[in-house]
Each structure stands twice: as structure tokens, then as C-alpha cells.
Amino acid sequence: MRTTETTVTFRHSFVLAGQEAEQPPGTYRLVTEEEQIPGLPVVAFRRTATLLHLPALSTSGPHQVVSLAPQQWAAIVAADRRGFAP
């Protein structure tokens, strides 16, 4: 198992599936968990989880961790690049 922690900055607000509140623009903590794919001649990993920590780092409030499906994560990132919510 391999865990990578990083931050991601959204320029626009967004709404997550299953969440009522709109999330404001800001920098969020993102954790990606991966497992090694066995039996390959090279070391390779597959993502097993993408976890977004709410609220944004500069925002106060109750802490929550949301698991995101790869398609949902891709849609949120693409929408932010285009400038609107997915």
C-alpha cells in the first residue's frame, strides 16, 4: 500500500455528490491510496481510493473526509479548469 498526500487548489466553488453544501474555492488536502500490481516485470500501482478533506485548509468548521470515485474527481477538476461547477 502506498499513500500520497498533496493539496489541490480550486479556483471555483463545487458541489460533491451526496453533499448538500457547496464547497468554496480554496486549497484542499487530498490523499490518494494505491496498491502495487503484482506479477508485472516493473513496479506499478493502481489507485484504490481518492480522499478529499473538507473544508478547505483556510476554512474553519467540522472536519470531514469524502471518498471520491475516479469519474467524480475527474469531473470536478475539469469543471474547475473550465470555470464552473460540474
Question: What residues contact 3, with CB distance under 8 A and at least 6 apart?
Answer: 31, 32, 33, 34
Q: Which pTM was predicted?
A: 0.83
pLDDT digits (tens, 9 = 90+) for 4-45: 999 999 999 999 988 888 999 999 999 999 999 999 999 999
Structural contact between residues 51 and 27, judged by C-beta atoms closer than 8 angstroms: no
Q: How confident is the model at residue 85 (pLDDT cuts 50, 70, 90)?
A: low
Domain ranges of the chain: 2-82
